[in-house]
């Protein structure tokens, strides 16, 4: 527990100022996160291990999608090109069967789209949107933990996360959503109240889906953590899985609701 607390303090001390400052410091941070996420997606794969060249392909795709796309979400042209490259690799690399190719494509696209939206929000929509995302996502996760510890009795999904409960999940959705709405109101965000409520409660729900989705990936490779970059916390994708997933969801929502 002491290690987890120390690591959490260090992460907050490093990440929060860089996100708040924005500009070049934030761009460097997001590039490092993107590269680290690409490494972890391939690092957990085994039997067979991916070829070293795939680290370059996945890294270029994710980092390039985040930094060089000209749209809110990752440009479809990048995704199509990435798919073509993977399919070509599958022809010449005997270790890339269709299930493995599908994993490389799906996981890489998920991370690229999510991180791209975080990048776009901070540089184009402002810090408030990143904080709204964080409050809805991390708030729901924290409240789900405490409510589950207090009154949780019914398992949510023992296969993927034995400790999560239905009661905790509901508590996280309600309280995490309420926290995000409160932030949006206090920060005087330009969102319509109905839009703020929709975004907040959708994100407090889908953040849990994101967490379980990334857990499902780990279970399929029978590993506990994506890496051990952060002592006591695992890797980049262990800490930011829900944020990445929810950023993708928020990007989708902003295309269809008034803001």
pLDDT given at position 185: 96
Task: Say how many C-beta atoms besides its own lie within 10 A of residue 181's C-beta.
Answer: 21
Does 257 score more than 80 pLDDT? yes
pLDDT in tens, 184-211: 999 999 999 999 999 999 999 999 999 9
Element (H, E) at 157: strand 155-157
Q: Which one, of 33, 236, 241, lies nearest residue 137 by Cα?
A: 241
**What's the rounded mean pLDDT across residues 28-32?**
95
Residue 97 confidence (pLDDT): 93
Q: Is the predicted pLDDT of residue 70 greater than 80, yes or no?
A: no
Buried b (16+ CB within 10 A) or exposed e, 115-125: bbbbbbbbeeb
Q: What is the pLDDT of residues 200-250, one digit of tens each?
A: 999 999 999 999 999 999 989 988 899 989 887 789 999 999 999 999 999
Q: Quickly state the pLDDT bin for 156 (edges 50, 70, 90).
A: confident
Residue 8: pLDDT band by 50, 70, 90 thresholds?
A: confident
Query: Residues of the chain with pLDDT > 90: what percent?
Result: 70
DSSP state of 124: I
- Cβ distance 196 to 258 under 8 Å? no
Check pLDDT > 80 for residue 41. Answer: yes
Nearest 5°: the CA angle 203, 193, 208 is 10
What's the rounded Cα separation, in Å, for the pair 252 and 254? 6
pTM, two decimals, is 0.91
Mean pLDDT of the chain: 91
DSSP character for 49? P
d(CA 27, CA 167): 39
Task: Tell me what pLDDT residue 1 has.
Answer: 61
Per-residue pLDDT tens over the stretch 161-191: 878 889 999 999 999 999 999 999 999 999 9
Q: Does residue 118 have a pLDDT over 70?
A: yes
């Amino acid at each position: 527990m002491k290690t987890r607390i120390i690591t959490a303090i260090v992460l907050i001390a490093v990440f929060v100022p860089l996100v708040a400052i924005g500009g070049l410091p934030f761009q460097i941070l997001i590039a490092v996160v993107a590269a680290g996420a690409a490494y972890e997606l391939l690092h957990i794969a085994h039997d067979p291990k991916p070829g070293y060249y795939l680290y370059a392909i996945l890294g270029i795709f994710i980092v390039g999608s985040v930094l060089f796309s000209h749209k809110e979400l990752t440009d479809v042209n990048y995704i199509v090109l990435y798919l073509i490259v993977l399919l070509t690799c599958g022809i010449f690399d005997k270790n890339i069967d269709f299930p493995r190719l599908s994993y490389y494509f799906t996981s890489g696209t998920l991370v690229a789209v999510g991180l791209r939206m975080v990048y776009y929000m901070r540089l184009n929509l402002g810090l408030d949107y990143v904080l709204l995302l964080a409050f809805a996502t991390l708030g729901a996760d924290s409240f789900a933990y405490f409510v589950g510890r207090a009154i949780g009795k019914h398992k949510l999904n023992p296969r993927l996360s034995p400790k999560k409960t239905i009661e905790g999940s509901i508590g996280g959705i309600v309280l995490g959503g309420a926290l995000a709405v409160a932030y949006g109101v206090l920060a005087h965000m330009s969102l319509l109240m109905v839009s703020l409520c929709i975004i907040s409660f959708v994100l407090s729900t889908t953040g849990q889906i994101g967490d379980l989705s990334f857990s499902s990936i780990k279970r399929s490779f029978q590993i506990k953590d994506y890496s051990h970059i952060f002592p006591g916390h695992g890797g980049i994708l262990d800490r930011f899985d829900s944020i990445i997933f929810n950023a993708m969801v928020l990007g989708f929502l902003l295309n269809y609701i008034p803001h």
